[in-house]
Structure 1
Amino acid sequence: MLTDYKISIALCTYNGGEYLLEQLDSISSQSRLPDELVICDDCSTDSTVAIINGFRNRVSFKVNLFINQFQMGSTKNFEKAIGYCTGDIIFLADQDDVWNENKIQDIEMEFYRNSNLCAVFTNAEIVDQDLNFMGYDLWKSVGFSQKSQKEFDKYPERILLKQNVVTGATMAFRGELKKSLLPIHDNWVHDAWISIIVAVMKDKEIKALDKRLIKYRQHANNQLGALKKDIFSEIEISKNKNVKKGKNVDFLALIEFLKPKQKLLKREGLTQLTEKNRHLEHRNKLHPEIVVRVWKVFLEAMSGRYFRFSRGWKSILRDIRYR
């Protein structure tokens, strides 16, 4: 072993019996085994708990199972699982993926090489429910281009304030960060919350590791998927399903959470978050009359915030045409 790191995995389950065993087996087949697996089950009614109990009786590492007394939802369930982890490095895991056998080893090596590195996330292979490759990877599905990757290396907060490119199932972070990350606001998805906080912290690094270290399974019951969408399908989703452009309360909550930790943040950290919040307020309050709306969008575009905090011309056209 390269280090004395204790490795924890935080895994959340809910009625995951169909695919869970494949994920658990991939964890037990790692070239570098974890020291503990913490599982929080959100009141499953299928075979999930029985599968976990059978699994923990046949592996050499510790498996701690916690069953919620009431349903908490994904974000709060992950918060709970992270809170129970005691490791120096905490890996996040979904119940329906499959890990490549070198996932833990490869990511642990990144932390070993760089003492300032506080979080790592990776690429992933997109597969169907039967683990057949779907022809593209996770970063392509979220629009994390090579240009964005290069910018992320220097200014991760700039990319993350435009869109979340971090998928929790690929993420690991140092356990010492727990006190700076928890509690997670329940209007956020846990991976977005964790990544943006690390990105705006002073002297902390977050790395995008371009390795496909998991098979990210797409199936009918995905809470969040990774299907490819072009601009036309995005517009149709917006038009037909009335997709919200962002919850203003999210960034207000994050700003309030970080205010007491301001000394730990980069110089412009809170300022950037406040500007992002202002942009979301604009997008959530667009006028229904086309002439007024076009004028308001034009003014916001002149401020540069569409290009700093959204998808530039794509978001401008979406706000003008489809409301």
Structure 2
Amino acid sequence: MKVEILMATYNGEKYLREQIDSILKQTFKDWKLIMRDDGSKDKTIEILNEYEKKDKRIKVLQDNKGNLGVAKNFEELLKNSSGEYVMFSDQDDYWMENKIEKYIKVLEKLDKENLKNPLLIHSNSYVCDKNLNILKKEFINSKIAKENNGNSYFFCYIVQGATLLVNRRVVELALPFLKSVKLHDRYFHLLSEFFGKRIFIDESLTKYRQHGGNEIGAKGSIVNKILKKRYFDKNDRELIIEISKKYDKILKKSNLKDIEKYIEVTDRSKNRIKRFLLSKYFEMKLIKRLFLLIKG
């Protein structure tokens, strides 16, 4: 069972070696690492080329497409992937040595039906400082990630991109990326909930490094933004609407009904009291319902 790992890089020279080394140290050896740089100005490219020469499992994707941004960089990597199972790696984290092995064990327990349908597996992460000292033992609230409560995923951001594994069916559904995709992890999360299965490994298998150069950090994550500001994210709403339009022929009636209700609840031009009452249709934490009343 071979796994392809996709790594998008940009000005990552400071921590890149540690992350690639952590992949090289994996107890599961049957993997391929594909990396694409997004126009770095530092020595990132030199480091990538060095590792490509060092290990035949490592490939650096070369093109003239320039700086695409994080989501489009991963989309380009996906276009150049062919594996049945794909994992995603940030350039500045550190993988526990048994990370891939843990995912493979989950895959081995699944039946053929689950394996052929859209499948997403994710895990938790340690939140660490720049030197990989652990600050928090969990990045994702494991209780919420495990619960799988009905339509709660509309307002729960529980899938971290650096912990993702998806099968080829999810990749086929996702490509080409929709225009409103800002974060590939949320996109894949929604696709798995609508069309397939999401499995959470209740264990921290990645050291999620926090430093000044993070593209998305624990302190500035979409999770905290939503909890501190509003009960939903504007970009997320646009993505869900776009998904409903693109996949309307294959979405279940129950999914379409959920999306319709979600669009109503998050329509800030409508009466907030009515939307507050309608929000009871969703599995949503009370604090988010209160934000609906307070901020609309």
Scaled by the length of structure 1, the TM-score of the pair is 0.81
SS of residue in 1 equivalent to 2:51 = helix
Aligned identity (percent) is 25
Q: For structure 1, list consecutive stretches of 5 or more residues without a partner in the other structure.
A: 287-295
Partner of 2:158: 165
SS of residue in 1 equivalent to 2:198 = strand
The RMSD of aligned alpha carbons is: 2.7
SS of residue in 2 equivalent to 1:164 = coil
Partner of 1:190: 184
Instruction: Give the one of 249, 254, 260 matched to 2:243.
Output: 254
Partner of 2:273: 298
**By how many angstroms is 1:138 displaced?**
0.9
One-letter amino acid of the structure 2 residue matched with residue 213 of structure 1? L
**By how many angstroms is 1:145 displaced?**
4.7
Partner of 1:291: none
Q: Does 1:65 align with 2:61?
A: yes
Partner of 1:269: 255
The change in CA–CA distance for 1:313 and 1:205 in structure 2 (over 3 A counts) is: closer
- 1:233-282 Cα offsets, whole Å, 9 max, x none, are 869953xxx9984234222211112124x1xx444122212222222223
**By how many angstroms is 1:32 displaced?**
1.0
Please give the alpha-carbon distance, in whole angstroms, between the structure 2 residues aligned to 1:200 and 1:235: 22
Please give the alpha-carbon distance, in whole angstroms, between the structure 2 residues aligned to 1:317 and 1:91: 37
Matches within 5 A, 1:74-113: 74-113=70-109
The change in CA–CA distance for 1:207 and 1:44 in structure 2 (over 3 A counts) is: same
Partner of 1:318: 291
Partner of 1:135: 136
Return structure 1 stretches of 4+ with deviation > 6 angstroms: 233-236
The change in CA–CA distance for 1:86 and 1:107 in structure 2 (over 3 A counts) is: same
SS of residue in 2 equivalent to 1:281 = coil
Please give the alpha-carbon distance, in whole angstroms, between the structure 1 residues aligned to 2:77 and 2:85: 14
Partner of 1:200: 194
Please give the alpha-carbon distance, in whole angstroms, between the structure 2 residues aligned to 1:235 and 1:205: 25
Please give the alpha-carbon distance, in whole angstroms, between the structure 1 residues aligned to 2:18 and 2:62: 20
Q: Which has the larger radius of gyration?
A: 1
Please give the alpha-carbon distance, in whole angstroms, between the structure 2 residues aligned to 1:301 and 1:171: 33
Please give the alpha-carbon distance, in whole angstroms, between the structure 2 residues aligned to 1:187 and 1:200: 17
**By how many angstroms is 1:220 displaced?**
1.1
**By how many angstroms is 1:227 displaced?**
3.1
Please give the alpha-carbon distance, in whole angstroms, between the structure 2 residues aligned to 1:127 and 1:307: 37
Please give the alpha-carbon distance, in whole angstroms, between the structure 2 residues aligned to 1:268 and 1:70: 41
One-letter amino acid of the structure 2 residue matched with residue 54 of structure 1? E
Number of matched residues? 288
8 A Cα contact 2:265 2:276, kept in partner: no
SS of residue in 2 equivalent to 1:137 = coil
8 A Cα contact 2:142 2:202, kept in partner: no
